Amino acid sequence: MKLILEKSKYIAIIGVISLLFASLAAFAWGTLNTVNTIFLVISSMGNDKAITVQFIEIVDSFLIATALLIFTVSLYELFIGKLDLPEWMLAHNLYELKAKLSSMIVLVMGVKFLQKLLEVKDTNDLLRTGIATALMSAVLIAFGYFGKKD
């Protein structure tokens, strides 16, 4: 039984492979967004108002792709084996992995709010979105700050 339980850690490879494919897809999505935006800039000679929003969407897609990659390598390191990567890319326990996820969610929410700010139509809706974004960011930041295990 001990041997089976010890080898069961390799089940995590399913998550690692799935996250790697998701990360690759997100990087491809970001690259496609980049190419489309470049064509928009060239075709409109920089005069299209959607360009700013498109650039923000590019940043958002690469943030998501990077978060998926960080989760991929961290999950591998936590369950399968050591990797030779920069320290900032790795989480050494599940708490650190959740904290990295919280940080990435805050960044993505900030980008999404900025995107909504640029496309504002209803100021009341913008106010509600801003309050919700600030509240969720505060909760996630508090989780990262107060939930640290020493």
Residue with tokens 């020493």: 150
Give the pair of three-digit tokens for residue 6: 């010890």
Taking the C-alpha atoms of residue 74 and residue 15, their distance in angstroms, rounded to an integer, is 11
pTM of the entire structure?
0.79
Q: Residue 22 has which token pair? A: 């998701």
Place of tokens 């107060």: 146
Mean pLDDT of 80-92: 88
Amino acid residing at 64: I
Band (148; pLDDT cuts 50, 70, 90):
low
- Measure the CA–CA gap between 34 and 149, rounded to whole angstroms: 40
Query: Is 122 a residue whose pLDDT tops 90?
Result: no
State which H helix or E strand residue 18 sits in.
Answer: helix 12-44
149 confidence band (pLDDT: 50, 70, 90): low
Q: How confident is the model at residue 102 (pLDDT cuts 50, 70, 90)?
A: confident
The answer to whether residues 45 and 3 touch, using CB atoms and an 8 Å cutoff, is no
Q: What is the pLDDT of residue 74?
A: 92
Domain that holds residue 67: 2-146
In the predicted model, what is the mean pLDDT of residues 23-44?
A: 95
- Name the H helices within the chain: 2-7, 12-44, 50-79, 94-118, 123-146
Beta strand extents in the chain (DSSP E only): none
Per the structure, the count of domains in the chain is 1
Sign of the dihedral through C-alpha 102, 113, 20, 15: positive
- Work out the average pLDDT over 74-84: 91
In this prediction, residue 71 has a pLDDT band, given cuts at 50, 70 and 90, of very high
Query: What is the signed CA dihedral for 56, 59, 62, 63, rounded to 10 degrees?
Result: -110
Q: Which residues contact 92 (CB under 8 A, 6 or more apart)?
A: 77, 78
